[in-house]
Amino acid sequence: MKAGEPADDADTWLRAVTNYSHVRQGRIHHAEAKKWLSPPDDPQAKWKLEISGELLSLVDDIVGRARERVAAQQEKLKAAGKPVPSVLQFCGILHAKAKVIRSVTGLKCDVIYDPQPNSDAHANLVVLDKGPDDILTVVATLLDTLVWVPQDQVSADQTLFPT
């Protein structure tokens, strides 16, 4: 797969959640998820909003990568002389098959492979037809579509670890 190409329908987009303040009553809080969505860095992109994640097919250790992400966030705060909040921990995984993301009712979405220097598994869940003015609708729809798996249940999730 080349950068900029859509992920295979059978692949799974996932995002590690690394802050317990983003989880409320056993769900991802919509106000926090709203912060993850942003317009693309590339003004020539065909989509209006994106949320970073990774492709399961390219991740060899889901939990290990999530913990590395937490450690990098903690180090960034320490380097800036800021305190590291205790809520900054691996909390769980959001995920969905690319095919499911493409079939979301009310949004036109896709999963685009976008390798980065720190993650060759990086992929964006993109929204092609709704922009920042529709972000509340986008977040609500995506949170209804994506599967939330708390950290203590990740290893038992059949999509993330098929038997």
Domain ranges of the chain: 12-153
Q: How far apart are CA 7 and CA 79, in angstroms?
A: 35
What b/e readout covers 111-127, taking b as 16+ CB neighbours within 10 angstroms? bbbbbeeebebbbbbbb
User: What is residue 42's predicted lDDT score, i.e. its pLDDT?
Assistant: 86
**Residue-wise pLDDT tens digits, 92-144:** 999 999 999 999 999 999 999 999 988 899 999 999 999 999 999 999 999 99
Alpha carbons 126 and 140: distance in angstroms, whole number: 15
Residue-wise pLDDT tens digits, 24-71: 888 898 888 899 999 998 888 999 999 999 999 999 999 999 999 999
Q: Which contiguous run of DSSP H or E holds residue 127?
A: strand 122-127
- Spatial distance between the Cα atoms of 45 and 84, rounded to a whole number of angstroms: 35
- Pairing label, strands 27-28, 23-24: antiparallel
Q: Residue 16: in which H helix or E strand, if any?
A: strand 12-17
pTM: 0.92
Cα–Cα nearest to 50, from 136, 123, 133: 123
Residue 17 pairs in a beta bridge with 92
129: tokens are 């037809």
